[in-house]
Amino acid sequence: MGVSGAGKTTLLDVLAQFTSVGVISGDMFVNGKPFDSSFQRKLGYVQQQDVHLETSTVREALCFSAILRQPQSTSLDEKQKHVEDVIKMLDMEEFAEAIVGVPGNGLNVEQRKLLTIGVELAAKPALLLFLDEPTSGLDSQSSWAIVCFLRKLANSGQAVLSTIHQPSSILFQEFDNLLFLAKGGRTVYFGPIGRNSETLLHYFEKHGARQCDEQENPAEYILETVTQGSSGKSGHDLPLIWKSSEEMKNMIEELNQIHEETSAIVSNESGATDEFAMPLSTQIKCCTIRTFQQYWRTPSYIWGKMLLGIASALFIGFSFFRSDSSLQGIQNVVFSLFMLCSILSSMVQQIMPRFVTQRSLYEVRERPSKIYSWISFMVANIVVELSYQIFLGIVVYASYYYATFGIQSAERQGLILLFCIEIFLFASTFAQMIIAALPDAQTAGALATLMFSLTMIFNGVFQPPQALPGFWIFMYRLSPLTYLIGGLSATGLGGRQVVCSETELNVFQPPSGKTCGQYMSAYLSEAPGQLINPEAVTNCSYCPLSNADQFLATSGISWNDRWRNYGIVWAYIAFNIATALLLYYVFRVSKWKPATLAQRKKRWNRVGNWLRWAGIWVQVLIMGTIGVVFSREQNGVNHVEWDSDEVW
């Protein structure tokens, strides 16, 4: 116990090694030995906030904790049997199959608190059960039920360490020992409470405090006494009195004796010092199953993802429905593929907030409890997201491909299907790479927009690679959309014969007495185009290109590179996954950074502001580039004898 601001929760966090802020000094021992990597998984910490996965049921949450936190030597049947015992102990049979939900829409306050305690009990903590104000927010009847349950655990041999705020006299009597803290974490009393609080009250009365009335709540009496002492009204410095008291000397002697007796005990338990109770393969399996359940029980996210992909694909596909083989038709197909890849930006923005929600649950409760490793968390999220992205890629392919290209050869259909799946796999891994290290989805969204805008500008569609300044050619080679759009365009259009429309033909008159073919024979031997009417003697019609490969070559796209491009995009996906794991470890797991939490937040806020401004400038750059491209195209038609109004 303690006055407000005495550091009760901070003390629990430090003892349980749940804190990563500030500097901790001194020695901590358990059973006479320093803490090892297995300490956190051998204790249960019931935090003040009830943090749970909202899509799981009560029984599933308990089973997940039992399977991953109880020792590997315990069989699965025994773990499930223990879960049922916990459900009966906490009287949770009525809502054992209920979805946890969110506060206000799911379990009520008492049920959530019982679940929080149950999750820790399901782990069978071998050392300690920590509870941070387990009665906060509960009525008197619920508080009494929880404290009585803790009393039963203590009677059965479970060590329980709890902070409690202003308990009633009945609740106070259920506890055996008291550590009372004054402001600043200074110890006022540390020892037994005694029957009817006699031992505790005798200590305070012996050192100058007023006598406690029989009808008075001992907890409130101590709070009043310590508050008066800290404000100087009582004239006693209680923390200083404790330091020189006989009770403290006896406590130190007892602690030293316990330390000597327990330090000689050697544990022969197999895997006793392992950081996690279960092997990595079991962790990944359980986490992946739970994440699949979470996605399945969140239809709004799945339907949003599917509608975004299908609606965009249908809109793009039928906007360029069965484009013909004219120059404009081929350009329309390439532009439709460019628009299809632009779905990536919205898909990335959709994925990142969900990842942040899952990461918050893991980092607040599950990682400090050593339920499973960060590798299991990352792998499970990546695998589940990729599974849905594969399905989305298939339905987007069906919605877009046949509307734009119609029926083609089996190789073309199959390869474009693979490319469509690859688009969404890249989007998923790209989103997880960006958000892995960043604190929130807003900052990550700004960075993702910046990077995606750069890939859009320099993929060869807006600007042919040969027209790029020498410095920027590296962006063309670096952009993943270069290989996605290049592979899709080459597969869908490679080898297609160009049939120019009337507005695209270059019409001229041959010399008198010559046919169009005779007049153009020398030119056609080297020209890329085709003469439409070689036997005509007037109105010769010349098409600037003869096949789509010539058009694609201006953007650096080749039919022979289609499978190469497919393999290169897989390299990007692998790079995204590896970088996501590396960034998460460096920025969210490793302990080498000296910065405090406030400094990190301030630093990331500066980064986020910079990224937002950078995103604005990139948008300006995009619009400027588009303007330059269209101005060049407009200037380029002057050498052709066309009606410019008709063309535009």
Same domain (yes/no): 172, 221: yes
- Of 244, 278, 312, the residue at which a domain comes to its end is 278
User: Has residue 147 been placed in a domain?
Assistant: no
Give tens-digit pLDDT for 27-45: 888 888 888 878 888 888 9
User: Has residue 87 been placed in a domain?
Assistant: no
Same domain (yes/no): 247, 290: no
Split into its structural domains, the chain has a count of 3
User: Has residue 432 been placed in a domain?
Assistant: yes
Spatial contact of 548 and 495, defined as CB atoms under 8 Å apart? yes
Same domain (yes/no): 370, 461: yes
Same domain (yes/no): 174, 234: yes
Higher pLDDT, 603 or 16: 16
Spatial contact of 294 and 66, defined as CB atoms under 8 Å apart? no
- pLDDT computed for residue 416 by the predictor: 95
- Supply the pTM of this predicted model: 0.82
Q: Is residue 268 pLDDT above 70, yes or no? A: no
**Which are the contacts of 13, defined by CB distance < 8 A and separation ≥ 6?**
19
Where on the phi/psi map is residue 7: left (φ > 0), alpha (ψ -120 to 50), or beta?
Answer: left
User: Has residue 154 been placed in a domain?
Assistant: no
Same domain (yes/no): 573, 536: no
Check the CA dihedral 545-551-553-559 and report its sign. negative
Beta-bridge partner residues of 508: 540
Range of the domain at 434: 281-468+558-647
Measured distance CA(580)–CA(375) in Å, rounded: 11
For residue 648, CA distances in Å to 206, 429, 504, 626, 645 come to 99, 40, 12, 16, 5
Q: Residue for token digits 């879960």?
A: 83
Measured distance CA(144)–CA(531) in Å, rounded: 95
User: Has residue 527 been placed in a domain?
Assistant: yes
Q: Is residue 629 pLDDT above 50, yes or no? A: no
User: Has residue 539 been placed in a domain?
Assistant: yes
Same domain (yes/no): 574, 627: yes
Where does the pLDDT of residue 648 fall: very low under 50, low under 70, confident under 90, or very high at 90 and above? very low
Would you state the torsion angle of the CA atoms of residues 362, 366, 368, 369, taken in this order, to the nearest 10 degrees?
-170
What does the pLDDT average to over 221-245? 78
Higher pLDDT, 20 or 78: 78
Name, of 176-180, 211-215, 553-557, 624-628, the range with top average pLDDT: 176-180
Q: Any idea what DSSP says for residue 496?
A: P
Q: Is residue 25 pLDDT above 60, yes or no? A: yes
Beta-bridge partner residues of 130: 45, 161
Phi and psi for 47 in degrees, rounded to 5?
Answer: -75, 165
- Pairing mode of beta strands 540-543, 506-508: antiparallel
Higher pLDDT, 436 or 38: 436
Same domain (yes/no): 209, 345: no
Same domain (yes/no): 528, 389: no
- pLDDT computed for residue 156 by the predictor: 86
Same domain (yes/no): 417, 445: yes
Same domain (yes/no): 312, 429: yes
User: Has residue 335 been placed in a domain?
Assistant: yes
The mean of the pLDDT values for the chain is 86
Residue 585: both structure tokens together = 């470890």
Same domain (yes/no): 461, 593: yes
- pLDDT computed for residue 630 by the predictor: 43
Give tens-digit pLDDT for 71-115: 988 999 999 999 999 999 888 999 999 999 988 888 988 889 889
- Of 484, 513, 544, the residue at which a domain comes to its end is 544
Same domain (yes/no): 340, 411: yes
Measured distance CA(496)–CA(324) in Å, rounded: 10
